[in-house]
Amino acid sequence: MTLFRHAARPARVPTHFLALGAMLALSPSLSWACATCGCSLSSDAATGYTTGTGWRLDLQYNYIDQSQLRLGSHPISAGQVAVINNNGGNQEVENNTTNNYLTLGLTYSPSSAWNINLQIPYIDRSHSTYSSATTSDLNAANLSSLSFNDFGDAKLIASYQGLLPTNNLGFQFGIKLPTGRYGGQNTLTGATVGRDPLFFSSGPNAAARQALDSSLQPGTGTTDIILGAYYYQPVSQDFDAFINGRFQSSMDQALDGLNANYRPGNNELLSIGLRYEHSPVWVPQLQINLSHKSPDQGALADIADSAGTVAYLSPGLTIGLGSGAQFYGFVQVPIFSSLVGYQLFPRWTANAGVSLAF
């Protein structure tokens, strides 16, 4: 399932190797409410890399249930956070954020050296918060929530992997477009800003007609640049290793008004891993995924609680279904976190996808 092999594996040379251009950015870092809200799995390595020409259709699902409050590298209870408000502070006490991402990807490869990938994400998200509650206010009557289903921000990414004759080194350039709903409320006047932002639907925040956090909206209202690089190499008869990285940064913000500006923090992803290629059908894999996010900026940003570094251990399996189709599934288990401020964190995440070349 890869391009260059040792002598005992030449039969697979023509078909698969570098689909990174098609799938590196399929990790749906769609709307980062914190340092852990986007998927960090390398889906390109999950499906195997290809130099084939033509079209590829991908559908990826990601489940991220942020049910644990954390500070730095340790869990912390809602009561411990609420003590800050007991003492006159103004710290939000979040309860839960459950994210379901479904991302449709379409890739066209005119040659073995070039491909271009379009991604259209659909988000199902539920969020609840006690706002700036004291310890005595941590009850159902003070819990505000919202659930929504909507399209997020689309991405368009071009990849070039023709520098080496083996096509195992490549680079990417792309953009994220502000196609999803975004916005919030002016912090001074309370006026709604952005494009059709979502508001809380229950609890005290709904009664006060309060908008959902800008970082939790389906889109960010920003145009982002995406830069990436990747390298892939057989390391033994049956094992292949890979490393890839990606950088994403906002270059233009639609929310740029006085008391109503918002810019998501820069995001860097680095993945390394191994694929066991003994069987042409069943391919076990193991990845380590590192993610770093800088703080969000602006009057509508939660600057103090949006940055951090997270590492995941991600075992998974890819299954060849025949006729150019593949299925993969992964579980990500956090093995390290260094979060700035008080953030909701997942105990584990799940990823699954299907890919069809035609």
| 49-94: pLDDT as tens digits | 667 899 999 999 999 999 999 999 999 999 999 999 999 999 999 9
Q: What pTM does this model have?
A: 0.89
Cα–Cα distance measured from residue 202 to residue 155, given in angstroms and rounded to the nearest whole number: 32
- pLDDT for 344 equals 97
- pLDDT for 9 equals 39
Query: pLDDT tens, 127-142?
Result: 999 999 999 999 999 9
Name the residue ranges covered by the structural domains of the chain. Answer: 10-357
- pLDDT for 17 equals 39
> 10-357 maps to which CATH number?
2.40.128.130
Residues with pLDDT less than 50, the chain: 1-26, 28-32
